[in-house]
């Protein structure tokens, strides 16, 4: 029988959970019914910002440096890209009808998007934020990339042909599949890629696949409706979100045996961790986020938006370069020549009476119309000289010189 952690005193709970949260940055929670992402300050234990995104936020991923958050809209054909420094959508990318799960390759150069409504994987170049290839896969729901970056597994929910589809990322082609008797839900690689953990609709167990043979080698019994299971790097236990009983299940990855469970909110949907010590769990049925300290089982609950589903957690120590300001006033940029370091961000603010705009010589995206009071932030990740003009009044010129650090 699985044991539940005993409830601790409220004061001890808050102190311990706050301590675990302080070791991390922010959590980004996709609120499915609100079409927003809640930005949760984990140290303060509260929502610090709300970001409008594509309809029905479904798949989410965060870059390794914590600076970029990708959010697909299940009720749209687009993906919102959030700049974590400003907590604003920096770009919207059209990816195809009804996009579902997403995953980054380990080198961070490629993002895979499950385009469920078009039976394909979209391959996105993260440097240009543009689609560069497409890979046919029937009804792709979620995707996991092996830690070596060579292979991806995709949960295919095509009726009558349920499978895990294996995709070679160098050739960008499906090379095989693992047939299933029920629809696959999520799938996640454990550290080192020696195990793939996946769940199926209607099966109250976590399936453990050996990727070297593509055979299921173990099952971990759970309560009703397990959704996502994984072993986070640095964690002593594997964890799984189990929707029916509303719990986070802990299991031993060495023995594939359940160890204990921690009660979370109603109808938990997803989980994420940046350090393997604290796991953030979304609760779709209670509209909140539960932070679970894996060593003690202590929890802290934070209210978010309506129907929170996916979540990503920003690593501790994510650079938050303060934006240098360029004021647009009296039909001029001030300063007109600005020097910053690589990695810095620059914010332009229209402090003038008439509308202005920005047009960069290098073709970088920028607003062609900024009404009074509007602002725009651009990150400069590489050294160089970047000239620009006002898109409305091209005689207004400016320059940003970026120095290598």
Spell 123-155 as b/e; 16+ CB within 10 A means b.
Answer: bbebeebebeebbebbbbbbbbbbeebebbbbb
Distance CA 222, CA 219 (A): 9
The whole-number pLDDT of residue 363 equals 93
The whole-number pLDDT of residue 67 equals 87
Distance CA 79, CA 92 (A): 6
Our measurement of the distance from residue 363's CA atom to the centroid of its chain's CA atoms, rounded to an integer in Å, reads 27
The whole-number pLDDT of residue 65 equals 84
CA angle 230, 12, 243 (to 5 degrees): 30
The whole-number pLDDT of residue 55 equals 98
The whole-number pLDDT of residue 381 equals 77
Q: In the chain, where does the domain assigned CATH 2.60.40.420 lie? A: 324-403
The whole-number pLDDT of residue 16 equals 38
The whole-number pLDDT of residue 19 equals 39
The whole-number pLDDT of residue 317 equals 62
The whole-number pLDDT of residue 105 equals 96
The whole-number pLDDT of residue 323 equals 64
The whole-number pLDDT of residue 20 equals 39
Q: What would the pLDDT profile of 135-152 be if each residue is shown by its tens digit?
A: 999 999 999 999 999 999
Q: In the chain, where does the domain assigned CATH 2.130.10.10 lie? A: 3-313
CATH number, domain 3-313: 2.130.10.10
Which SS3 state, helix, strand or coil, does residue 231 take?
Answer: coil
Distance CA 171, CA 224 (A): 39
The whole-number pLDDT of residue 14 equals 36
CATH of 324-403, one of 1.10.3720.10, 2.60.40.10, 2.40.30.60, 2.60.40.420: 2.60.40.420
The whole-number pLDDT of residue 320 equals 52
Residues of the chain with pLDDT under 50: 1-23
The whole-number pLDDT of residue 344 equals 82
The 3-state secondary structure of 145-202 reads ECCCCCEEEEEECCCCCCEEEEEECCCCEEEEEEECCCCEEEEEECHHHCCEEEEECC
The whole-number pLDDT of residue 266 equals 98
């Amino acid at each position: 029988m699985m044991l539940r952690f005993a409830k601790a005193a409220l004061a001890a709970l808050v102190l311990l959970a706050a301590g675990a949260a302080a070791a991390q940055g922010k959590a980004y929670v996709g609120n499915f019914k609100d079409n927003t992402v809640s930005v949760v300050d984990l140290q303060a234990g509260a929502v610090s910002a709300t970001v409008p995104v594509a309809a029905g936020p479904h798949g989410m991923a965060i870059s390794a440096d914590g600076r970029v958050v990708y959010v697909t809209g299940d009720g749209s054909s687009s993906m919102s890209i959030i700049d974590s420094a400003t907590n604003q959508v920096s770009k919207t990318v059209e990816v195809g009808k009804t996009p579902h799960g997403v995953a980054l390759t380990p080198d961070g150069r490629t993002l895979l998007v499950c385009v469920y409504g078009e039976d394909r994987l979209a391959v996105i170049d993260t440097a240009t934020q543009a689609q560069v290839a497409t890979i046919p896969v029937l009804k792709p729901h979620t995707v996991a990339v092996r830690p070596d970056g060579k292979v991806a597994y995709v949960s295919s929910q095509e009726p009558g042909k349920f499978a895990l589809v294996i995709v070679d990322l160098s050739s960008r082609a499906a090379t095989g599949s693992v047939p299933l008797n029920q629809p696959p839900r999520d799938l996640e690689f454990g550290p080192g890629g020696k195990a793939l953990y996946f769940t199926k609709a209607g099966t109250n167990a976590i399936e453990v696949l050996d990727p070297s043979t593509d055979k299921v080698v173990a099952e971990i019994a759970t309560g009703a409706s397990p959704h996502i299971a994984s072993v986070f790097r640095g964690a002593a236990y594997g964890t799984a979100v189990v929707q029916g009983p509303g719990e986070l299940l802990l299991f031993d990855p060495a023995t594939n045996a359940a160890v204990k469970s921690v009660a979370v909110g109603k109808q938990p949907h997803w989980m994420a961790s940046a350090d393997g010590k604290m796991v953030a769990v979304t609760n779709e049925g209670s509209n909140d986020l539960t932070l679970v300290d894996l060593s003690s089982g202590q929890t802290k609950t934070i209210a978010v938006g309506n129907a929170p589903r996916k979540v990503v957690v920003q690593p501790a120590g994510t650079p938050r370069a303060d934006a240098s300001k360029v004021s647009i006033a009296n039909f001029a940029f001030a300063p007109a020549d600005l020097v910053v370091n690589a990695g810095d961000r620059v914010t332009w603010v229209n402090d003038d009476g008439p509308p202005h705009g920005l047009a960069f010589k290098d073709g970088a995206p920028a607003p062609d119309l900024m009404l009074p009071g509007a602002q725009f932030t651009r990150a400069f990740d590489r050294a160089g000289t970047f000239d620009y003009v006002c898109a409305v009044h091209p005689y207004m010129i400016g320059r940003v010189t970026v120095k290598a650090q």
